[in-house]
Structure 1
């Protein structure tokens, strides 16, 4: 194989694919990237056996061929080369090594045979649809923070993606929960998504898809089977295994009878929570909200460091109510809201609260209270 490629093009592509490769591997080939030079350009492929990323970049291919090289080493070399330089990659059959040349720099990298490189993409994808990259990014951005990191409840370690009918209107819905908070976001269902199985996309795949969707204007093709998801942009194809488990019935934890409505300026509310939580302990992080007659008093008491209170104006005309929340969770949710206001639907100090931009918004959040 002998190819020449522009450094910035190669670096951008390596930035996408090398992240999939784990730093520590018991199987040597999984530390490597597969490079294949052909008439289409230079194809880069990485996998950790759960996720596979393939990207093709324009390159001057003098001799077609393929090899595998250490992913993180190659990325670090290309990252340190000067801007605007050309990178030449060449393998020779005798040494089993790859020579990388750029300007006056020379690097020789150990290779492993491409025949050893695993392929996880085999299999038929039964469902296929296209949607704007911006919409898929929004579904991920607004739910990702609520993914559970608790390994024992592995079926919560991802985003539950499914098609559902809402008041006669088909929507594609993303849901994530860690048991303390829940995020649910809808977008109009693209053609081809109806009838798709409900799938749980794992946390690492969610994170990689999010990074691939830098251009919100383009379209993304999504393909699904019962065990895999494939997301393809114009340049990159990511295939991932799905979490083999059953997502809980999230509809049961979304309260419908919360009749105490409170509207508050989102920015003021988030800033006030942030200020008073400075006093809270790392472990507790509890902030108490006291509502009465058009005002909210936020208070934190920490036996070790003192106390803090702050009062803000709100639109609230139900009876007095005291309720406690984890301050960080409140700020996480406030950061996801798009509008200038936040609508809190409350019931009582022991029941979950619903938070939205406004009534009927496509994004809805549920937060469990804390004892304070």
Structure 2
């Protein structure tokens, strides 16, 4: 069976990544590509690296016949996404890559994103899209909320440790580096080559990054009590990748074995041998996440490092993984490609 797919926001980085992945999926066909400002253009004009693909031209969302669509990916900006999704057919399967349905509490959404939620009636049915931990719910969902890429990386490193009770929940430090594509494709002065290259800086310092809302929600639910991590993201002059270095209090051997046990049957989570650390080079362009554990020189402290591609496993690859579940496909279909190296 061939599933007909629409992508809204196809002119952004996550939209292009969805096209790259879905075009090679044996049971999916891209039927509609929407981009309001670039409607009428071909994908080859917007993304020349996709010119070899037979794709529909970009159109406006209002021009799509959703009765012919089996699943819709929404890769639109925050706030815009909920307003668009609210008006889509109520029986349409949707995966939202924005933040609009990630936070279950409307007050928390307004706190972190600065505007009231415009589709509260849909928030109750939204399933959080961290596939490895919400697999059963995603399989039966109509609306799935993709995670933040930083939030996904931190959760892969920390969730099993929190639920397993092997670390001190009041002393978790997450130091994260993210490539520039995580900021989207819009023109921003601080992302110009001359201002970003040859430099490296922290941002949203002191607990102001929006993905903290996801960490607070998910980690506190796991622990049954409030858990606040100390989190500082850094912008690195690279196109793709996230490296999360986490400092925890706990027995390093127990930390490692807990992660190994949690991920032993997960096809996309690769645990490195104890003492080895991952690199963003080794996951680039793939749906894999690599995790390493090292014992610190200070007794009963461990350093846990996770690496993934923010556009693939952190966003569009995760979305396709979820779509496979929602459409009854094997979860790994179209996603087992090897990373790009060098």
Larger-Rg structure = 1
Structure number having the greater strand percentage:
1
Structure possessing the higher relative contact order (Cα contacts under 8 Å, 6 or more residues apart): 2
Q: Same fold (TM over 0.5)?
A: no
Structure number having the greater helix percentage:
2
If the length of structure 1 is used for normalisation, what is the TM-score?
0.23
